[in-house]
Amino acid sequence: MNDDLENLRKRAKHLVKQHRSRTHVVADRLRRALPRFAGMSDREVLDADFALHDAQQVIATELGFASWTDLKENPPMTTTETTTELRFERATTCVFVTDFDRALAFYRDTLGFDVAYTYGEPAFWGEVTRDGARLNLRHVDSSPWVEGVREAEQLLSAYVLTTDAKTLFVEYQARGVDFQERLQRRPWDMNEFVVRDPDGNLILFGGPPQP
């Protein structure tokens, strides 16, 4: 059997498992690929029947085929030829929050981030950005942190490198930000401070001292 086709079968089976486990991110894929899901909410998509043949149709549609049969007759072939140099582009941290709207407002209105996007109905995932810094926000029903551990062990949810931590600290101080640690000059020659968000996540902002 063609290895590429077998991999696509596995992907279809995994998609069925994701739907059964109510993984919200698959809802948009199903709406795009299958007309019968168009216009449905995430919850309606996840409540609907979804079989393996449906998942195979999703895979086929995403690859530009009219049907799974067409795909089997002309399976896409992978290539081992490297066209670009492998490198990491960026890594984005994930911040877990119990009230998504409250967290989004805090990072946008208090910390000055822009909302890149949100996902879900209601939204449970999103990304906020400020210049080159990116944070993913993920709703959880209850905090995964053990009470008191973050503060005692200084467990950070994110480290944001800036060009001028002192100026940023003054900005945040004027906005009434809750600081876990105020601005300090560290032995490793960095100005750093730690912000506590409404869920208790600790976000460290740091940068080299200015001349």
- SS3 of the chain: CCHHHHHHHHHHHHHHHHHHCCCCHHHHHHHHHCHHHCCCCHHHHHHCCCCHHHHHHHHHHHCCCCCHHHHHHCCCCCCCCCCCCCCCCCCCEEEEECCHHHHHHHHHHHCCCEEEEEECCCCCEEEEEECCEEEEEEECCCCCCCCCHHHHHCCCCEEEECCCHHHHHHHHHHCCCCEEEEEEECCCCCEEEEEECCCCCEEEEEECCCC
**Amino acid 1: pLDDT:** 43
Which pTM value belongs to this model?
Answer: 0.61
Task: Determine the pLDDT at residue 129.
Answer: 93
Average pLDDT, the chain: 89
Q: What is the pLDDT of residue 2?
A: 56
The residue ranking higher by pLDDT, 17 or 42, is 17
Please check the confidence at residue 161 and state whether its pLDDT lies above 70.
yes
Mean pLDDT of 113-126: 90
Q: What integer pLDDT is reported at residue 25 of this predicted model?
A: 75
Region at 39 (left for phi over 0; alpha for psi -120 to 50; beta for the rest): left
Q: Give me the mean pLDDT over the 71-96 stretch.
A: 73
Q: Of 46-55, 83-92, 96-105, where does mean pLDDT reach its minimum?
A: 83-92
> Is pLDDT larger for residue 43 or for residue 205?
205
| Spatial distance between the Cα atoms of 201 and 189, rounded to a whole number of angstroms | 25
Task: Sketch out the chain's domains with CATH numbers.
Answer: 3-73 (no CATH), 93-207 (3.10.180.10)
pLDDT of residue 67: 92
CA distance 46 to 14: 15
Determine contact, residues 158/58, Cβ cutoff 8 Å: no
**pLDDT given at position 111:** 97
Q: Regarding predicted confidence, which is higher, 5 or 51? A: 51
pLDDT at residue 80 in the model: 47
Which has more confidence, 204 or 42?
Answer: 204
By C-alpha distance, which of 103, 78, 87, 80 is closest to 158? 103
For residues 124-135, give the mean pLDDT.
92
Rounded CA separation 156/137 (Å): 15
Mean pLDDT of 141-167: 89
CA dist 198 and 96 (Å) reads: 11
Under 8 Å between Cβ of 23 and 12: no
pLDDT on residue 35: 93
Residue 3: which pLDDT band, with cuts at 50, 70 and 90? low
Say what the pLDDT of residue 85 is: 77
Residues 183-197 pLDDT 10s: 999 998 999 999 999
What is the average per-residue pLDDT within 83-100? 83
